[in-house]
A = this chain, B = another copy of it.
Amino acid sequence: MRATVLYAAGDVRVEDRPDPTVQAPTDAVVRVVRACVCGSDLHPYHSMPASEHGRTMGHEFVGVVEEVGADVTTVQRGDVVIAPFAWFDNTCEFCREGLTTSCLHGGFFSGTQAEAVRVPQADGTLVKAPVGEDSALLPSLLTLSDVLITGHHAAVTAGVDARTSVTVIGDGAVGLLAVMAAKRLGAEQIVLMGRHVARTDLGREFGATDVVAERGEEGVAKVLELTGGRGTHTVLECVGHLPAYEQAVGTVRAGGVISRVGVPQYESAPVGFDSLFGRNVTLTGGPGAQRPYIEELLPDVLEGRIEPGRVFDRTVGLDETPEAYRAMDQREALKVLVRP
């Protein structure tokens, strides 16, 4: 099959790789119908050291089940399925608590920008979608693989509700869908920090009440101005770079919560008296590939109450994924859909 492989920063290739097969009785093989490029794919695209064998890329997909192992009972050949960006058995103690990213028998996908993918723990991981493989809902369903559930995770872990004001940092797909998620959970003031007008305009349609284009101290000052000098009860950090973290610290209200869902590109950050401790600020978040979110959000997508697929503004074939990376990196595209 054809698959997308990153060999070094900036060096994306599409090449032949062995077809995936059922290796364990709990596996499924899924033919990818839609995949996409994620903001987090841009991190290795910027920084990965050269690698002889490369790294297969992508962790989001909607597909059709091609083959299942002997123990798989919840999906069968021909089903249209969604998977979050992690696999899990959905039965271990962490899965039962809803924290499927910490499954004792789980892991994270890498290699879905391809014609097919092996899905371990298929019963736990795959969620059947009652649509055909030509459904107009596929882009929105694909956001349940990562960007919508990740934005939702930020809002949920931050405790967003009707009483909380919200700052969303980042106007990538996750940031925009964090706006959507915060709105869906009842937030009335949602400040979106981002400087790409086409994106922040979409953010306004998703529910942002204010947009702050400035960054750094200037951006923080604007958010404080919008909130009577206090900052917002919650800050959803959807970028992953240290300056975004610092913006979060600057814009959060005393006693408030910063939830991070952008994969941190740093290990250490300020957490001392002046940044978090003195004002009783809580730092939370992490990978949001929790299966219960898909089950919670799927009806809203199927019934058209939300249309998160609007974050896709370009579609390419599988052989064009290098161009998809380039366009997203250059901010020419917000999020690129890949049709293998």
Residue numbers in B under 8 Å from A281 (CB-CB): 286
Residue numbers in B under 8 Å from A275 (CB-CB): 267
- What 1/0 mask marks residues of chain A from 98 to 121 whose CB sits below 8 Å from any chain B CB? 010110000000000000000000
A23 and B250 CA atoms in complex are apart in Å by: 34
Question: Do the beta carbons of B283 and A287 come within 8 Å of each other?
Answer: no
A156 and B158 CA atoms in complex are apart in Å by: 17
- What 1/0 mask marks residues of chain A from 267 to 281 whose CB sits below 8 Å from any chain B CB? 111111111111111
A274 and B157 CA atoms in complex are apart in Å by: 19
Binds B, one of A194-202, A258-266, A314-322, A327-335: A258-266
How many A residues are at the interface, by size bracket? 20 to 34
Question: Do the beta carbons of A255 and B97 come within 8 Å of each other?
Answer: yes
Question: Do the beta carbons of A271 and B268 come within 8 Å of each other?
Answer: yes
Question: Do the beta carbons of A273 and B280 come within 8 Å of each other?
Answer: no
Q: Which of A29-44 contact B (CB under 8 A)?
A: none
| Contact A277 to B268, CB < 8 A, known contacts A97-B255, A102-B254, A102-B255 | no
| Contact A272 to B267, CB < 8 A, known contacts A99-B255, A254-B94, A255-B99 | yes
Contact residue among B102, B272, B283 (Cβ-Cβ distance under 8 Å from A276): B283
| Contact A268 to B272, CB < 8 A, known contacts A284-B282, A286-B281 | yes
* Residue A175 at the chain B interface, CB threshold 8 Å: no
With both chains docked as a complex, state the minimum distance between the C-beta of A283 and any C-beta of chain B, in angstroms.
Answer: 4
* Residue A285 at the chain B interface, CB threshold 8 Å: yes
Looking across the interface, which residue of chain B has its beta carbon closest to that of A93?
Answer: B230
Looking across the interface, which residue of chain B has its beta carbon closest to that of A283?
Answer: B283
Q: Which of A125-151 contact B (CB under 8 A)?
A: none
Contact residue among B99, B266, B280, B284 (Cβ-Cβ distance under 8 Å from A286): B280
Question: Do the beta carbons of B255 and A277 come within 8 Å of each other?
Answer: no
Question: Do the beta carbons of A264 and B271 come within 8 Å of each other?
Answer: yes
With both chains docked as a complex, state the minimum distance between the C-beta of A95 and any C-beta of chain B, in angstroms.
Answer: 11
Question: Do the beta carbons of B263 and A273 come within 8 Å of each other?
Answer: yes
- What 1/0 mask marks residues of chain A from 213 to 246 whose CB sits below 8 Å from any chain B CB? 0000000000000000000000000000000000
Looking across the interface, which residue of chain B has its beta carbon closest to that of A272?
Answer: B267
With both chains docked as a complex, state the minimum distance between the C-beta of A288 and any C-beta of chain B, in angstroms.
Answer: 9
A281 and B264 CA atoms in complex are apart in Å by: 14
Residue numbers in B under 8 Å from A97 (CB-CB): 255
Residue numbers in B under 8 Å from A282 (CB-CB): 157, 282-284
A157 and B287 CA atoms in complex are apart in Å by: 22
Contact residue among B94, B268, B273, B284 (Cβ-Cβ distance under 8 Å from A283): B284
Residue numbers in B under 8 Å from A264 (CB-CB): 271-273, 277
With both chains docked as a complex, state the minimum distance between the C-beta of A67 and any C-beta of chain B, in angstroms.
Answer: 31
Looking across the interface, which residue of chain B has its beta carbon closest to that of A274?
Answer: B267
New A-B contacts (7) at CB < 8 Å, excluding given A269-B269, A283-B283: A97-B255, A102-B280, A263-B277, A267-B273, A268-B271, A277-B286, A284-B284
What are 9 A-B residue pairs whose CB atoms fall within 8 Å in the complex? A99-B254, A102-B280, A266-B272, A268-B272, A271-B283, A276-B283, A278-B286, A280-B287, A282-B282
